[in-house]
């Protein structure tokens, strides 16, 4: 007799059990009536959004309270798996994706994601989770700070040089509307100026 508290029948299936269900010996794996089909392998595309957010820094050095807040450029990083956006901070190692005939399970390519993170960090971006004295507002989707105590030259330099490098290797990089550290690209129309003396000086 089934007992309501019997955890062996009421509990959710584990991923290992789902793996076994979808294995090569599963006679339903290739049928259209199977609600969940085989695993799908997708190489993700790194996507980054640059914007500014208010950050708070503890500059007390452990002595008293010396908090400073100001706007700083940050990066939101996520990975595009054939149209499915997965945040860099998403803890899941796999997810479901709709497909013809049912659902597919996509395993995240953590090796590719790690390479993307390392590339971004090689250009000076700093993982906010590693910064104990810096904080962003609750609910922020930012993952990286461009630089600690950088200036306008650092931030514009990132836009002018790093962003094109990331795009060359397949990244999609967006500058949020109103991002203050945008630069004029090389494909911009030519600018001309005429200098005339000021007769009053």
Token readout for 18 is 């789902």
Q: What tens digit of pLDDT does each residue of 149-196 get?
A: 788 999 999 999 999 999 999 999 999 999 999 998 666 566 677 778
Q: Which is higher by pLDDT, 31 or 121?
A: 121
Length of the chain: 201
- Tell me: pLDDT of 21 over 70: no
pLDDT tier at 198, thresholds 50, 70, 90: confident
The closest alpha carbon to 96, from 45, 31, 32, 39, belongs to: 39
Sorted by where each begins, the domain ranges of the chain are 14-174
Q: Percent of the chain scored above 90 by pLDDT?
A: 54
pLDDT value for 60:
80
DSSP one-letter string for 20-43 = HHTSTT-TTTTSTT-SEEEEE---
pLDDT value for 31:
44
pLDDT tier at 28, thresholds 50, 70, 90: very low
pLDDT value for 4:
45
Task: Scan for tokens 């997965």, then name that residue.
Answer: 86
Q: Which is higher by pLDDT, 99 or 96?
A: 96
CA distance 53 to 170: 26
Q: Which is higher by pLDDT, 133 or 36?
A: 133
In terms of average pLDDT, the best of 18-22, 90-94, 96-100 is: 90-94
CA distance 18 to 53: 41
Query: What stretch of H or E contains 164?
Result: helix 163-168
pLDDT value for 66:
84
CA distance 81 to 83: 5
pLDDT tier at 10, thresholds 50, 70, 90: low
């Amino acid at each position: 007799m089934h007992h309501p508290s019997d955890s062996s029948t009421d509990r959710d299936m584990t991923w290992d059990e789902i793996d076994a269900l979808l294995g090569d010996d599963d006679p339903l794996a290739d049928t259209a009536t199977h609600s969940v089909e085989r695993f799908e392998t997708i190489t993700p595309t790194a996507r980054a959004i640059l914007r500014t957010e208010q950050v708070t820094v503890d500059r007390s050095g452990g002595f008293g309270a010396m908090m400073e807040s100001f706007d700083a450029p940050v990066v939101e990083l996520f990975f595009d798996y054939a149209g499915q956006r997965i945040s860099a901070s998403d803890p899941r190692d796999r997810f479901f994706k709709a497909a013809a005939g049912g659902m597919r399970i996509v395993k995240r390519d953590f090796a590719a994601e790690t390479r993307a993170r390392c590339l971004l960090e090689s250009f000076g971006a700093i993982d906010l989770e590693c910064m104990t004295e810096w904080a962003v507002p609750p609910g922020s989707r930012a993952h990286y700070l461009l630089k600690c105590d950088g200036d306008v030259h650092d931030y514009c330099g990132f836009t002018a040089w790093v962003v094109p490098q990331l795009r060359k290797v397949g990244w999609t990089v967006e500058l949020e509307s109103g991002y203050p550290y945008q630069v004029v690209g090389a494909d911009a129309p030519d600018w001309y100026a005429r200098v005339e003396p000021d007769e009053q000086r």
